[in-house]
Structure 1
Amino acid sequence: MSLAQAERAALVDTLRSVGPDAPTLCAGWSVKDLVAHLVVRERRPDTAPGIMIPAFAGHTEKVRAATADEPWDELLDKLAGGPPVYSPLKLVDRWANLAEMFVHHEDVLRGAARPDQTWTPRELSDELQQALVTPAKSMSRMTLKNSPARVTLRTRDSRDLVTLGSGDEVTVIGTPGELVLFAFGRAPVDVVFKGDDRAVAAVRDAKRGL
């Protein structure tokens, strides 16, 4: 079983335990809304442009909303089964879906948390933490390139993963998993900021994510 498959299975277990109406970190989405997003992402390739391109977002949301009306257990079974054979994600599941499953799992686990509260993350294996280094780098290159400061993502063992933006220096320190969540714009996250107070506040408050 790949790490992506293991994280998918863990996510499905969490979904079954919290139920379809629980909150998530995705604004306006219940757990069932989030599951519909994941199912559509893997089973409706025609909706992919709408995830990145605003002009196509209406179609993507229409399909997702319709999918959210399907029975809960059927949606969970589809998600648990992974990408179908016709999905472009089938052959690249272990790479394309690791961060997707991890981030959305945390969206559910932290769904009722306040963005400003202190969060104690679940314990991840060293193997999973190391595997999340690559998505931390790749996602931050997209979400931090226009940062209001020059931001360095640094692991707790003092590895600098990426430096982006311009201006005052701000260092964000955390595990690879928490740095992935920071790059995706999630909160709460268990990271430490170092730098000028104003620059840190600007980075903390800046919009991230796609």
Structure 2
Amino acid sequence: MTVAKRERAALVETFRTAGPDAATLCAGWSARDLAAHLVLRERRLDAAPGIMFPPLSGYTAKVQDKIAETTPWPELVDKIAAGPPIYSPFKLLDPLINVTELFVHNEDVRRAELGWEPRQLDSATVAALLRSLPMLSKIALSKVPARLILRTPDGRTLATVGTGPEVVITGEPQELLLYAFGRDAVRVEFTGDEAAVAQVKSAKRGL
């Protein structure tokens, strides 16, 4: 089983345990809304471009709302479990581009609950998530007013982004990835000038 398939199975299990009304880290979205987003992304090629292209986002939102409102929760989750349909470009690209998406959204549900703890990930999953971090961080952290150094607890530098006062953010690769995606429910530590660290913490992040 590929890493992407394992992450999909983990997300499906989280959805089924949490239920449709569970909170998520995606502002304003319940688990049902998040599931509808994933179904739209993989199955509605007409509406998916609006996820990343703001001029089309209104249509995307309407389609997503309709999916959420009209599709029974078990069916929504079953569609995610089944993976991309044969006509979807995600079918062939699933092992390459879906690991990060599925991991992040699983954590969006898990970490919205009080008392969450990081999952223990195997080395293959960590390596797959790490591959996307250098490029993602350059885009997702481009508005942060500092020179960010993303570093693991054992001292490995995974990415360096931006200019200005230096701030080191230390955490496991999956935690740094979630931080870059704009999530605050992460286990990372900040080192640097106090004022610079405060600016970094308040800066806009994510895609």
Q: TM-score, normalised by structure 2?
A: 0.96
Alignment of 1:78 with 2:75, yes or no, is: no
Query: More displaced, 120-129 or 179-188?
Result: 120-129
Cα shift at 1:201: 1.1
User: Conserved in 2, the CA contact under 8 Å of 1:119 and 1:190?
Assistant: no
Regions of 4+ moved over 6 Å: none
Aligned length: 206
Cα shift at 1:48: 2.5
For residues 135 and 156 of structure 1, the distance between their equivalents in structure 2, rounded to whole angstroms, comes to 19
Cα shift at 1:45: 1.4
After the TM superposition, which residues 38-77 of structure 1 pair with which residues of structure 2 at under 5 Å, given as runs?
Answer: 38-69=38-69, 70-77=71-78
Q: Residue 189 of structure 1 corresponds to which residue in structure 2? A: 186
For residues 130 and 195 of structure 1, the distance between their equivalents in structure 2, rounded to whole angstroms, comes to 28
Cα shift at 1:89: 0.8
Aligned partner (choices 113, 130, 140) of residue 133 of structure 1: 130
Alignment of 1:159 with 2:160, yes or no, is: no
Post-superposition Cα deviations, 1:139-162, rounded to whole Å, max 9, x if no partner, equal 111111232100011112211111
Q: Residue 89 of structure 2 corresponds to which residue in structure 1? A: 88
User: Conserved in 2, the CA contact under 8 Å of 1:120 and 1:190?
Assistant: no
Q: Residue 107 of structure 1 corresponds to which residue in structure 2? A: 108
Aligned CA RMSD, in angstroms, stands at 1.2
Q: Residue 3 of structure 1 corresponds to which residue in structure 2? A: 3
Post-superposition Cα deviations, 1:129-186, rounded to whole Å, max 9, x if no partner, equal 1221112222111111232100011112211111111110001111110011001000
Cα shift at 1:28: 0.3
Cα shift at 1:120: 3.3
**SS of residue in 1 equivalent to 2:149:** strand
Cα shift at 1:119: 6.0
Structure 2 portions without partners, runs of 5+:
none
**SS of residue in 2 equivalent to 1:135:** helix
Q: TM-score, normalised by structure 1?
A: 0.94
Post-superposition Cα deviations, 1:22-72, rounded to whole Å, max 9, x if no partner, equal 000000000000000000000011223211221110011011000002101
Query: More displaced, 44-53 or 195-204?
Result: 44-53
After the TM superposition, which residues 141-152 of structure 1 pair with which residues of structure 2 at under 5 Å, given as runs?
Answer: 141-152=138-149
Aligned partner (choices 198, 202, 206) of residue 205 of structure 1: 202
Query: More displaced, 104-113 or 166-175?
Result: 104-113
User: Conserved in 1, the CA contact under 8 Å of 2:143 and 2:204?
Assistant: no
Alignment of 1:171 with 2:168, yes or no, is: yes
For residues 77 and 117 of structure 2, the distance between their equivalents in structure 1, rounded to whole angstroms, comes to 27
Structure 2 CA distance for partners of 1:63 and 1:98, relative to 1, 3 Å: same
